[in-house]
Amino acid sequence: MFEKLQERLDVIFKKVKGYGKLSESNIRDSLREVRVALLEADVNYRVAKDFLEKVKEKAMGEEVMNSITPGQKFIKIVYDELCALLGETNKPLDVAGSPPVPVMLLGLQGSGKTTTAGKLALYLRKKGRKPLLVPTDVYRPAAIEQLAKIGSQLGIEAFTPAAGTNPVEICRDAKAYAMKKGFDTLIVDTAGRLHIDEGMVQELVRQKDLLAPRETLLVVDAMTGQDAVNIAKSFDEKVSIDGVILTKLDGDARGGAALSVRAATGKYIKFIGIGEKLDALEAFHPDRMASRILGMGDVVSLVEKAQEVFDEKKAKELERKLRKDEFTLEDFKEQIKQVKKLGSMESVIGMMPGLGKLKGLVDFSEAEEGIKHTEAIINSMTVKERLYPHLIDGSRRTRIAKGSGLRVQDVNELLKRYLETKKMIRRFTKGGMKGLPKHLFG
């Protein structure tokens, strides 16, 4: 996400940092380039204009102009204004109130609304809530079945409407069912259209009147760029929304929707969809997004994600094994599985400060393929071989290579890496507790 904008801003900021002193002239030149970068990123023209005026006003101040590091001061101003543009602070989903608390999802067809309903339900379950998925799209073929399938994959129940019931009746019946079964949240997946029409609006209003939802969220495809702003404005005028969920942000190299929606509509972005997997939904934090846009990474989100996916018991057991020099290929495989849960290698690298530039220099698909090969090789071993790798002789290596569909050389390379890792661990653990870096285990 924001790849093109990141590249443009990086070039501009390098030039700014090269100035020994900032002047009105080179500030204007820099802002002109920033303006072009924003418009190329499909940022709304009015939003870009207002943003640049605020940056210019602060950058022309005496404190910046006479600073020893004017370039850094200029970048800090851009960062602060980006945070303000994106909403300044995270606005968490409001699900307070007597259960079941309704959350309505609105949006046009193709915005990813049904998948987002599942993602949001999973997000809330991780927060300790018990959500019920409610399908009210009775028009799109198999829409109800799609939500039920997503719910089944997640282990989250989806309400089954009675045959022939309309969306308002489904809302009424689902609410009664949730109260009876102890669900505390309703995630209502409403019907979309190819465009906003009076029939859809009236139906949404009727559902909203019945449910009185705590949050009404608009699901918008980030790849629609400035159209996302117009869609959000229209829905807010006709139905009144509380916030926005931007989907497919991982596929949007420009980022215009994310940078325009808050300023143009006054509505906060609550969540962003960053992948096809059902756990690829993140709460939106303006400061973290501003850091990503400026190529500064997003360590906080990376740490939070790691805390979510790494099992504490498994981490303690791994620590014990490392200290006892009992680290096996089975453990090696388990660590690969844990790391994969963080997301693609490219997305993880993008969150690390200073490493964002590697995205244009490193072939991540090749690295991801290497991880798959490692898993395939270990999966082709017997349990005994994983636990006691020294048993793997020439004939076993040939069998393992055939079983994984790879070469004997690949098996040899994996075993070599494993032994080198063991040696490194031994060096760290030599001398007991003092030798092993504490940061390995958080």
Contact 51, 104 (CB under 8 A): no
What are the residue ranges of CATH 1.10.260.30 in the chain?
304-441
Residue 278: predicted pLDDT? 87
What are the residue ranges of CATH 1.20.120.140 in the chain?
3-86
Q: What is the pLDDT of residues 216-255, one digit of tens each?
A: 999 988 887 778 888 888 899 899 999 999 888 877 656 6
Residue 308: predicted pLDDT? 58
Q: Reduced to 3 states, what is the DSSP secondary structure of residue 339? A: helix
Residue 155: predicted pLDDT? 94
Question: pLDDT at residue 435 above 50?
Answer: no
Per-residue pLDDT band for 206 (boundaries 50, 70, 90) equals: very high
Question: pLDDT at residue 436 above 60?
Answer: no
DSSP state of 23: -
Whole-number Cα distances in Å, 280 to 17, 253, 271, 272, 283? 36, 17, 10, 8, 10
Neighbours of 115 (CB within 10 A): 21
Residue 351: predicted pLDDT? 55
Which pair of structure tokens corresponds to residue 240?
């009144």
Question: pLDDT at residue 103 above 90?
Answer: yes
Mean pLDDT of the region 282-294:
84
Residue 45: predicted pLDDT? 86
Class of domain 3-86: mainly alpha
Mean pLDDT of the region 130-134:
96
User: Which residues lie below 8 Å from residue 220, measured CB to CB, with a gap of 6+?
Assistant: 107, 111, 228, 231, 232, 244, 245, 246, 247, 257, 261
Q: In this structure, which CATH number among 1.10.260.40, 1.10.260.30, 1.25.40.340, 3.40.50.1980 belongs to the domain 304-441?
A: 1.10.260.30
Burial class (CB in 10 A: 0-12, 13-18, 19+), 155: exposed
- More reliable by pLDDT, 184 or 356: 184
Average pLDDT across the chain, whole number: 81
Superfamily of domain 101-297: P-loop containing nucleotide triphosphate hydrolases (3.40.50.300)
Mean pLDDT of the region 409-425:
82
3 state SS for 73-140: HHHHHHHHHHHHHHCCCCCCCCCCCCCCEEEEEECCCCCCHHHHHHHHHHHHHHCCCCEEEEECCCCC
Least confident segment among 24-38, 316-330, 352-366: 352-366
Whole-number Cα distances in Å, 262 to 36, 83, 219, 229? 20, 11, 14, 9
DSSP state of 267: P
What are the residue ranges of CATH 3.40.50.300 in the chain?
101-297
Question: pLDDT at residue 28 above 50?
Answer: yes
Q: What is the pLDDT of residues 38-84, one digit of tens each?
A: 888 888 888 889 999 999 888 887 666 666 677 778 888 888 898 88
Mean pLDDT of the region 293-302:
59
Per-residue pLDDT band for 129 (boundaries 50, 70, 90) equals: very high
Single-letter residue type at 291: S
Mean pLDDT of the region 138-148:
89
Mean pLDDT of the region 82-89:
86
